[in-house]
Homo-oligomer: A and B are copies of this chain.
Amino acid sequence: MRKSIATVSLSGSLTEKLTAAARAGFDGVEIFENDLLASPLSPEEIRARAADLGLTIDLYQPMRDVEALPEEEFARGLRRAERKFDVMRRLGTDTLLVCSNVSPHAVDDDGLAAEQLSRLAALAQESGMRIAYEALAWGRHVSTYDHAWRIVERAGHPALGLCLDSFHILSRGSDPAGTADIPGEKIFFLQLADAPLMAMDVLQWSRHYRCFPGQGGFDIAGLVRLVLATGYDGPLSLEIFNDVFRQAEAGSTAVDALRSLIALEESAGISPLPAPAVPTGFAFAEIAAADPLPVTSLLEGLGFRRTGRHTGKPVDLWAQGDARILVNHGTGTRGDGPFLTAIGLETPEPRSAARRAESLLAPVLPRRRVDHDVPLDAVAAPDGTELFFCSTRRPGHPDWTADFASGTDFASGPDATAGPDVTAVADFTAVADEPQELSPAGPLTGVDHVALTQPWHHFDEAVLFHRAVLGLRPHESVDLADPYGLFRSRAMTGAGGTPRLVLNLAPAPAPDPRTRTQHIALTTDDITAAARRVRAAGAELLKIPANYYEDLDARYEFAPGTLDTYRELGILYDRDEHGGEFHHCYTATVGRVFFEIVQRTGGYRGYGAANAHVRLAAQRR
């Protein structure tokens, strides 16, 4: 279907909005009147600009407080409408959105409303225009779509129809099933907006918290199915009032917006996409570090071994159990030290995953970076993290590990002197020769989760991206108290519970990019042994205050000595209501990256949110 967006949904000048909508791939726009009024371009110039960009102008909006008024006031509205029809003719659009009256002067008289709307429609018709009447959820007398439909039906004018808006219908809890009774040709326009489910004043909710379909709690797909069943064949158009989108760069918001409609078309059964190839786990995480030593020292301390080197790039493979970290010391020119640049996701069908991602507007990355690379499908997430779709050592698929020579070659590598001394890790089994050892034994067994703090403005976009593109399932959003503001945190998981990806949002405004930390949580079956191993290797664990352990002691009963050990090592503890337990500790932070070691028992599904404030305060010291 044709896809449109209201200019009010995007930031910037009208020109910037049109350009962003066109570049993202929208077919048309609704022109929000204030955007026109504030623009130095004439309606003719706006029309030409839109046409040059391949955009149609599908709606002019809104006209307010025009119907169900005393005659003198209505006459002024008609005069105003006449001028607007002229503007619309010059813009090259033919549909005017009229919102139900919110004025205290409005009369509670459906007959009067119908009669006046009919006269307005007749005037519109003379100019080749038509009127789409919409019930605002806070309209003075008309606030539901079925009421608006009764008035339109009663008016019975061919140039008068309805505009349906998902927010106004669903925010009031109206049953959208009644839309099935409206003839499709009388639905002139369909505006779509989602919103988080909040108990708040509907006007404030609408003006500040709307979001793109799939980012809130409404069943937009269900509504769209109903409306399409009527025969409606106009555009699916987004009209989003959102304080964050008002500030965000219009280009990325427009991509986020169009992605939401493409995903919506899939879930409403309008246009299929390549089926999701939901990741099952992490193949690797890649850290870029101009100076790799701080990271590799940490990895050594954690018990990782350098088991391979990329044949064409200065990238080392460090492994332990099923956890694999690539340390790339050929990039990392940023001043803020090591940071996580890429994640490898174990994916049953990498090609299919990439095709779906591309359909959903994910930027596709080159399959080969250097000659002879194994060709890997990869896309960029909204925060810039590169996502590689991997099928590690599965027959019939390219295998990323083939790019890595085994560890025996390290001594002759280009900067072996810069890296840590592999032989220092003497506690573990020797490096295998061919193929290089992918899962050397150690106290850590794999990756539990990866947590990425998102740039301000892109949190909801990131959640939708990972849900729609990868098929991960978002869990409840939680607030975490940092000494200098609230973090928002939302976990997303694959079908079988893995991989676990945690998206965080730093308190705004957060001008300091160092607060955009990233961490890799590693699993162990024995938190105490793992933590002791780290300490024995000379690495530090985050120091946790004694007061925390006194509180643990007040809340739970532990085996004798356990809390002393936990206090000594800085191990945190949480227990869920089903008795599931979570034991975890943290390394120091290098650049933006730190590591967590976690042990889950008894089916614990969380991430230790109850301890986050203690950890965040300790990290601030």
Interfacial residues, chain A to chain B (CB-CB below 8 A): 11-13, 16, 33-34, 36-43, 79-80, 82-84, 87, 198-201, 204, 207, 243, 246-247, 456, 479, 481, 483-486, 507-511, 543, 545-548, 550-551, 553-555, 613-614, 616-618, 620-621
Q: Quick one: given A246-B507, A507-B246, A508-B509, are A199 and B198 in contact (CB under 8 Å)?
A: no
B456 touches A36 (CB 8 A): no
A243 touches B79 (CB 8 A): no
| Shortest Cβ distance from residue A556 to the other chain B in the assembled complex, whole angstroms | 9
Chain B residue at minimum C-beta to C-beta distance from A247: B485
A548 touches B37 (CB 8 A): yes
**4 interchain residue pairs of minimum CB distance:** A509-B509, A83-B554, A38-B617, A200-B200
Residues of B within 8 A of A42 (CB): 546-547
Residues of B within 8 A of A87 (CB): 547, 550
A554 touches B34 (CB 8 A): no
Known: A11-B485, A13-B621, A198-B201. 16 other contacts (CB 8 A): A12-B483, A13-B483, A13-B620, A36-B547, A38-B483, A38-B613, A40-B545, A42-B546, A199-B200, A200-B201, A243-B486, A246-B486, A246-B507, A247-B509, A456-B509, A508-B508
B617 touches A13 (CB 8 A): yes
Partner of A481, one of B79, B246, B483, B543: B246
Q: Quick one: given A84-B554, A510-B509, A553-B83, are A545 and B38 in contact (CB under 8 Å)?
A: yes
A507 touches B199 (CB 8 A): no
> Bound complex: CA of A198 vs CA of B547, how far in Å?
38
B554 touches A37 (CB 8 A): no
| Shortest Cβ distance from residue A124 to the other chain B in the assembled complex, whole angstroms | 15
> Bound complex: CA of A42 vs CA of B42, how far in Å?
69
Residues of B within 8 A of A204 (CB): 198-200
Q: Quick one: given A37-B547, A548-B37, are A247 and B511 in contact (CB under 8 Å)?
A: no
B509 touches A621 (CB 8 A): no
Chain B residue at minimum C-beta to C-beta distance from A104: B577
| Shortest Cβ distance from residue A240 to the other chain B in the assembled complex, whole angstroms | 14
| Shortest Cβ distance from residue A243 to the other chain B in the assembled complex, whole angstroms | 6
In the complex, which of the residues A43, A548, A617 has the most CB atoms of chain B within 10 Å of its own CB atom? A617
Residues of B within 8 A of A37 (CB): 545, 547-548, 551, 613-614
> Bound complex: CA of A543 vs CA of B39, how far in Å?
11
> Bound complex: CA of A613 vs CA of B37, how far in Å?
9
B38 touches A618 (CB 8 A): yes
| Shortest Cβ distance from residue A70 to the other chain B in the assembled complex, whole angstroms | 15
> Bound complex: CA of A620 vs CA of B35, how far in Å?
13
> Bound complex: CA of A620 vs CA of B40, how far in Å?
12
> Bound complex: CA of A484 vs CA of B13, how far in Å?
9
Chain B residue at minimum C-beta to C-beta distance from A508: B509
Residues of B within 8 A of A481 (CB): 34, 246
Residues of B within 8 A of A483 (CB): 11-13, 16, 38
A38 touches B548 (CB 8 A): yes
Residues of B within 8 A of A201 (CB): 198-200
- 16 A-B residue pairs with CB within 8 Å: A11-B484, A36-B547, A37-B545, A37-B551, A38-B614, A42-B547, A79-B554, A83-B553, A83-B554, A84-B554, A87-B547, A199-B200, A246-B481, A247-B484, A456-B509, A509-B509
Chain B residue at minimum C-beta to C-beta distance from A456: B509
Q: Quick one: given A246-B485, A507-B246, A545-B37, are A550 and B83 in contact (CB under 8 Å)?
A: yes
| Shortest Cβ distance from residue A285 to the other chain B in the assembled complex, whole angstroms | 28
Residues of B within 8 A of A33 (CB): 551
In the complex, which of the residues A201, A510, A547, A621 has the most CB atoms of chain B within 10 Å of its own CB atom? A547
> Bound complex: CA of A33 vs CA of B610, how far in Å?
13
> Bound complex: CA of A37 vs CA of B554, how far in Å?
12
> Bound complex: CA of A199 vs CA of B43, how far in Å?
40
B484 touches A555 (CB 8 A): no
Chain B residue at minimum C-beta to C-beta distance from A511: B511
| Shortest Cβ distance from residue A434 to the other chain B in the assembled complex, whole angstroms | 50
Chain B residue at minimum C-beta to C-beta distance from A510: B509
